[in-house]
Structure 1
Amino acid sequence: MPETLHPDFQPMFDVVREVNSGETEFQQAVYEVMLSIAPLARTRPEYAQWGILKRICEPERQIIFRVPWVTDDGKIEINRGYRVEFNSALGVYKGGLRFHPSVNLSIIKFLGFEQTFKNSLTGMPIGGGKGGANFDPKGRSDAEIMRFCQSFMTELYRHIGEYTDVPAGDIGVGGREIGYLFGQYKRITNRWEAGVLTGKGLTWGGSQVRTEATGYGTVYFAQDMLETRGEGLDGKRVVVSGSGNVAIYAVKKATQLGATVVAVSDSDGYVVDESGIDYRHLKDVKEKRRERLTAYADERGSARHVTGGSIWDVPCDIALPCATQNELNATHAKTLLSNGVQLVAEGANMPCTPDAIELFTEAGILYAPGKASNAGGVATSALEMQQNASRDSWSFEQTDAELRGIMRGIHDTCVETAETYGSPGNYVVGANLAGYIKVADAMVAQGVI
């Protein structure tokens, strides 16, 4: 990371780096926020002091636990589970669970740190948290996944609750896993506490649009960004990385708004479909059949599968990285810029490396950080909590309208905050400052806790 922090913040970051040695993802997330909040050293020095910043960079609680489970052939496996309850200044801890082999404490802490500001931007009364395990559901039977989820919840249940910490899904945790987790929580506690998890099925406390929310929200945010330049999505050529839940519904909404999505990816490569990715076929292959993208290409004559290289080699007007952290680096950014990209909006959490972000900013293209552009998922989770609390169920149209309004509000807040602090058009500065100030206000009001 370049040493370009404000002089007031460099010593603070050095301490964070020392205390959290080896946690590169977490350090990266903190560094980005410290870069953006430099104006506070001049305009609101009380919020740029170590007393606030140190507490914001230190999780309120970090929980690590063993998850033992039994495979179908009787073998005992052990995984490591995590829940980092990062900041509750604005409300209950809120954030997803990720099941993936790459999961470690650094990744969970970076996700929880980002989630704190993302949740702040939504305007909903929710704090930040994140969790998960280094368990890989890929290739596992439903019975094995059920046993893992039940073991995971047997420890986690004592740390969560409707008024304490409300997990949701993330990579590797979809409706199936949420169902197993909720069932075990209900079994252990003997309570029907619908508000303890979000992302539930529609027949047992879930919300319309929650499945679509992160992908839809990312595209809504991109649409608002284009409108600042008098443009829209109609006729735009779009590339979406990933092919999971976020990517599928980003493809769907972008297509509905007139764009042509020409490529999606998975860990085996990427598919290019010049006629436009068929989101119905994509959903069938990836969600229902749980197959690789090679199946999409084999079954659709207009598509070709590419192994090796990068999806960012495909020319596009709009890039939506929706896969995982640090997937788009400086080399990819240079390729995108040379191919004429106009807008990058993050559907995943921190998918662009710092040097890639720097290139996008210097080029003057529209760039949105994930804490703003992918906030639709957690916003709709909060709407699910609201419905659970009132024993209510909203229509798809009502919930989608609420989501659309929240995303527009986040966009406008980012724009206005960036202008106020002397960085017009910089969504990174706008998102980080707006999120940080709201959390800091609440922390100051509540005393030294």
Structure 2
Amino acid sequence: MTTQITGNKASAETYINGVFEQLKVKNAHQPEFLQAAEEIFLSLTPVFEQHPEYIQHNILSRMVEPDRIISFRVTWQDDYNQVQVNRGYRVQFSNVVGPYKGGLRFHPSVNESIMKFLAFEQVFKNTLTGLPIGGAKGGSDFNPKGKSNSEIMRFCQAFMTELYRHIGADVDVPAGDMGVGAREIGYLFGQYKRIRNAHEAGVLTGKTPGYGGSLVRKEATGYGLVYFVEEMLRDINETFLNKTVVVSGSGNVAIYAIEKAQDLGAKVVACSDSNGYIFDPEGIDLNIVKEIKEVKSDRIQTYVDYRPNATYTEGFQGIWSIPCDIALPCATQNEIDGDSARTLLANGVKVVAEGANMPSNLEAINVFLENGILFGPAKAANAGGVATSALEMAQNSGRYYWTFEEVDEKLQEIMKNIYVKSKEAAFKYGSPGNLVVGSNIAAFVKVADGLITEGVY
């Protein structure tokens, strides 16, 4: 697309709309990726008004096309010696700011659209941390649930046998995500070392502490989410103290968001899994949730066996009908739609912050923003996990470990800086208080300037 620099709103909107129309044609079968792109595009008109040189350099078209998409077959044997076949992915979206960085997801829902949307979001999220990391994402449609340790090990070894040729400490550094924890990272790292005949600790993050992993990594996304909300509340002279909180999900993000919110004096009354949700009017007993999820790997409905005053309801989306001051969606993409957002609003919610990736659809986001709800978008609010992964990379490079307190302190500072940068960008570009606009623009401008600095390639 060739566009003249004019520096006005009409030309900016024409350029953005033109790029998005082209994107829809090229990616018509990828709804998640198009949703993620549209959410960012909606923020960018004032940027192109103030920076018409971005149009001349066709920055937007360059930024929405990944550097490469790697798709590969993963063949492995189950415990019955049956050969199984899955599909693996690595989407290396941008390394303008630093080496590609982003998690691996093992889940039946994994497809190219989801990988692209997650990798695209990762570029912006990673840039906001202020650390030198680019954006990528990967994974497989392999489902670790119900598999033995031996099956998971064999799958991870088969997966890494292809992935190893595309990654490296200064090239691309994967981490964990849904379905990939310290166990899977350990198996992946073991196979990488076997193939490469080298102990390159910095090639993967999310490793077990004591074996190259960082303290706080397991807690980081949940803690970071709460630290971000703490900054939002501070600006209106509020705290978590005595606030009622609803948290969706019951994985690492949700569990440690609950833990930190409770530490700060909140009353968390609900959480969920993919089957349904629990409501405990006396406040969630986190030790029970950890026992169910981290020790027994059981369903959340068994919580009511321990707490007779709690209730369980089938269907996870109904969790947003529970009145609360603060809602923290930490489960999966598009879990809050327009109707759920309006229900939260009617029940008095004051703050919504995203612990999962893109858990609110565009209609829901508009409901929150149009009604003055404090809204923390995922790319800013849930950046704590990747920030701590980058801190793990730094420790690996220096061959030393920081204490829990040292990492936690650095995490708090990073989340505070993300909030400040997002808030300042929103103000500068005419949308004060809108952290969706602010986080999108703060990250976009840094990547755009990097693309111009490095020339056309």
The verdict on a shared fold, with TM-score over 0.5 as the criterion, is yes
Is the CA contact 2:16–2:60 (under 8 Å) kept in the aligned structure 1? no
Deviations 1:217-267 (A, max 9, x none): 001101110111110110100001100010000000000001011000001
Output the CA distance in 2 between the equivalents of 1:159 and 1:405.
Answer: 32
The match for 2:148 is: 141
How many Å separate the matches in 2 of 1:353 and 1:116?
19
2-structure distance, mates of 1:399, 1:407:
12
Identical counterparts, % of pairs: 58
Using the alignment, how far apart are the partners of 1:137 and 1:302 within structure 2? 33
Q: Per the alignment, do residues 246 and 54 of structure 1 end up closer, same or farther by CA in structure 2, a change over 3 Å counting?
A: same
Match of 1:425 among 424, 430, 433: 433
Is the Cα contact below 8 Å between 1:6 and 1:35 reproduced in 2? no
Alpha-carbon RMSD across the aligned residues, in angstroms, is: 1.0
Which stretch of the first structure deviates more once superposed, 5-14 or 214-223?
5-14
Structure 1 segment 102-113 matched on structure 2, within 5 A:
102-113=109-120
Q: Secondary structure at the match of 1:36?
A: coil
Which residue in the other structure is 2:122 paired with?
115
Name the counterpart of 1:321: 329
Residues 6-52 of structure 1: CA distance to partner in whole angstroms, max 9, x if unpaired?
A: 33311110001111121000011111111111101211112245621
Aligned to 2:214: 207
What's the TM-score once normalised by structure 2's chain length? Answer: 0.96
Q: Residues of 1 paired with 2:54 and 2:356: CA distance?
A: 28
2:288 and 2:306 in contact (8 A); partners too: no
User: Is the 8 Å Cα contact of residues 79 and 134 (structure 1) preserved in structure 2?
Assistant: yes
- Distance in 2 of aligned mates of 1:12 and 1:59: 15
**Displacement after TM superposition at 1:268 (Å):** 1.1
Aligned residue type for 1:134: D
8 A contact 2:69–2:92 mirrored in 1 = yes
Q: What is the deviation of 1:301?
A: 2.6
Give the partner amino acid of 1:38. T
> Given the alignment, which residue of 418, 439, 447 partners 2:447?
439
SS of the aligned residue for 2:134 comes to strand
Aligned twin of 2:251 = 244
1:332 and 2:359 correspond: no
CA distance in 2, matches of 1:121, 1:49: 25
1:258 corresponds to which of 251, 265, 277:
265
| Letter paired with 2:364 | A
Higher mean C-alpha displacement, 325-334 vs 272-281:
272-281
- Report whether the alignment pairs 1:178 with 2:185: yes
Corresponding residue number in structure 1 for 2:357: 349
Task: String of CA shifts for 1:171-199, please: whole Å, max 9, x gaps.
Answer: 11011111111111111111101000000
State the alpha-carbon separation in 2 of the partners of residues 278 and 92 from structure 1.
Answer: 40
- Which of 15, 20, 39 is residue 22 of structure 2 equivalent to? 15
Structure 2 equivalent of residue 361 of structure 1: 369
User: Counterparts of 1:372-387 in structure 2 under 5 Å?
Assistant: 372-387=380-395
* Partners of 1:47 and 1:437 within 8 A in 2: no
Deviates more, 1:343-352 or 1:137-146: 137-146
Alignment equivalent of 2:305, drawn from 295, 298, 303: 298
* CA distance in 2: counterparts of 1:173 and 1:280, whole angstroms: 22
Bigger Cα displacement from structure 2, 76-85 vs 300-309: 300-309
Match of 2:286 in 1: 279
1:196 counterpart letter in structure 2: V
> Which has the higher mean CA deviation after the structures are superposed, 46-55 or 337-346?
46-55
Structure 1 partner of 2:94: 87
Which stretches of structure 1, 4 residues or more, deviate above 3 A after TM superposition? Answer: none
**Unaligned regions of 5+ residues in structure 1, if any?**
none
Q: Secondary structure at the match of 2:210?
A: helix
Distance 2:297 2:48 in 1: 50
Judge which range, 225-234 or 46-55, deviates more.
Answer: 46-55
- The residue that corresponds to 2:5 in the other structure is none
Which region of structure 1 is more displaced relative to structure 2, 275-284 or 179-188?
275-284
SS in 1 for 2:41: helix
Instruction: Give CA-to-partner distance per residue, 1:73-102, whole Å, 9 cap, x none.
Output: 121111100000000000000000001111
Match of 2:76 in 1: 69
Q: State the distance in 2 between where 1:448 and 1:49 align.
A: 12
Q: Report the TM-score, using the length of structure 1 for normalisation.
A: 0.98
User: For 1:412, which of 420, 425, 429 is the aligned residue?
Assistant: 420
The number of residue pairs the alignment matches comes to 445
Q: Does the C-alpha gap of structure 1 residues 58 and 406 become closer, same or farther in structure 2, counting only changes over 3 Å? A: same
Q: Answer with 434-443 or 302-311: which moved more.
A: 302-311
Q: Is the partner of 2:15 in helix, strand or coil?
A: coil
CA distance in 2, matches of 1:444, 1:18: 26
Residue 195 of structure 2 aligns with which residue? 188
Find the aligned partners of 1:288 and 1:184 in 2 and give their Cα distance.
26
Aligned counterparts of 2:293 and 2:189: Cα–Cα separation in 1:
24
Structural mapping, 1:387-402, within 5 Å:
387-402=395-410
